[in-house]
Amino acid sequence: MSMFDPLQRKIKWSDLNATPFQSDGRVANLRGAADLELSAYLDRIGFTGTPAPDRATLETMQRLHLLAIPYENVDVQLGRPLTTDPAAAFEKLVTRRRGGWCYEMNGLFGWALSKIGFPVTRLASGVMRDTFGEATVGNHLVLRVACEDGPRLADVGLGNGPIAPFALMPGAFVAGGLEFFLEALGDGWWRLNNHAGALPPSFDFHLDRIDEPLLSASCLRLQTEPTSIFVQNLLCQRFVPEGHLQLLGRTLKRVTRSGTEERLISSAGELIDILARDFGIEEPQAADLWPRVAARHAELFD
């Protein structure tokens, strides 16, 4: 069995040693939390000053996190088990200076916010629920964060979503110069419609949909099922001061206010260079992914 083939590996439920949470979804008594240093996380994202549980701190932290830490699924592609445990996310994203997907990105972010004093609730949401229905719920973790002027929805794990937390008010809003639209769907459900051309196009959330077992099960499913986009495709995204970068398989896309540039990468060496230079991902073993990345591109486009 190749250690780099996620379609062949076996992941057990015991691999998902998820951190305990309170029944209302708030972060509570994280395993190993005494060893996690808030100052190390703040250094990782470049936050200076003294953080406080207020909206200004929340907005600054979300923007800095997205500029510093890439969204990426390299470990899924390499067949390395991932969990919903914020302690594991800290070790990977802060100590090893890697990126992650929503369970890691928002898991770490929610932990940091709670250490500062924000009331944080982890919500099981559904990317593209409008298309694929209730089966999507749990495929995305988002955070409800209490602020002095009302709750905000915070999300550093979408890849290419709002760079700022947003209020729960229906209608259009602008974040980072891009327009988003928030819909109230009824029965407590909301839909965030992403900006034009973004991946993914939308996700739905419910302010009372708190389900840690569902999040853990979805985390397992998305890294093992052959039909999962994360199993099928290498995906990295990152905010940069001038715009946004996206690597989807062989295609590198750079979006700035002056336009969009796309190009194809042509070798394993170039893949490693781009991961390191453009996304800050130092992972030499990713070179082993190149044959599958190239084959997937040929399957889709040749």
Question: Does any domain span residue 2?
Answer: no
Same domain, yes or no, for 76 and 194? yes
Q: pLDDT in tens for each of the 302 residues of the chain? A: 233 333 333 334 333 344 445 545 555 444 444 445 899 999 999 999 999 999 999 999 999 999 999 999 999 999 999 999 999 999 999 999 999 999 999 999 999 999 999 999 999 999 999 999 999 999 999 999 999 999 999 999 999 999 999 999 999 999 999 999 999 999 999 999 999 989 899 999 999 999 999 999 999 999 999 999 999 999 999 999 999 999 999 999 999 988 999 999 999 999 999 999 999 999 999 999 999 999 999 999 98
219 is catalytic: no
Which of residues 228, 244, 272 is at a domain's end?
Answer: 228
> 130, 208 in Cβ contact below 8 A?
no
Q: What CATH number is associated with residue 50?
A: 3.30.2140.20
Do 34 and 156 fall within a single domain?
yes
Quick one: pLDDT at residue 302?
82
Backbone angles phi, psi at 59, to 5 degrees: -65, -40
Residue range of the domain that includes 90: 13-228
Domain final residue pick, 228, 258, 286: 228
CA 24 to CA 160: how far, in whole Å? 28
Q: Which one of 65, 75, 147, 155 is the catalytic residue?
A: 155
Q: Which helix (H) or strand (E) holds 2?
A: none
Catalytic residue among 65, 75, 85, 102: 102
Peptide bond into 200 cis (omega under 30): yes
- Give the largest CA-CA distance in the chain: 54
Q: Which of 75, 85, 140, 147 is catalytic?
A: 140
d(CA 28, CA 22): 6
**Kind and range of the H or E run holding 107:** helix 102-116
Residues 224 and 238 in one domain: no
Residue 36 in any domain: the answer is: yes
For residue 250, which of 265, 260, 268 has the smallest C-alpha distance?
265
Are 169 and 248 in the same domain? no
Asked if the structure places residue 4 within a domain, the reply is no
pLDDT of residue 189: 97
What's the domain count of the chain? 2
pLDDT at 25: 57
Looking at residue 21, what is its pLDDT? Answer: 52
Q: Are residues 67 and 142 in the same domain?
A: yes
85 part of the active site:
no
Same domain, 89 and 204: yes
Residue 140 appears among annotated catalytic residues:
yes
Q: Are residues 255 and 128 in the same domain?
A: no
**pLDDT in the model for residue 257:** 87
Distance in angstroms (rounded) separating the CA atoms of residues 238 and 236: 7
Whether residue 3 lies inside any domain: the answer is no
Domain end call among 213, 228, 243: 228
Q: Please tell me the predicted confidence (pLDDT) of residue 7.
A: 36
Q: Give yes or no: residues 140 and 276 share one domain.
A: no
Residue 249 and residue 177 share a domain: no
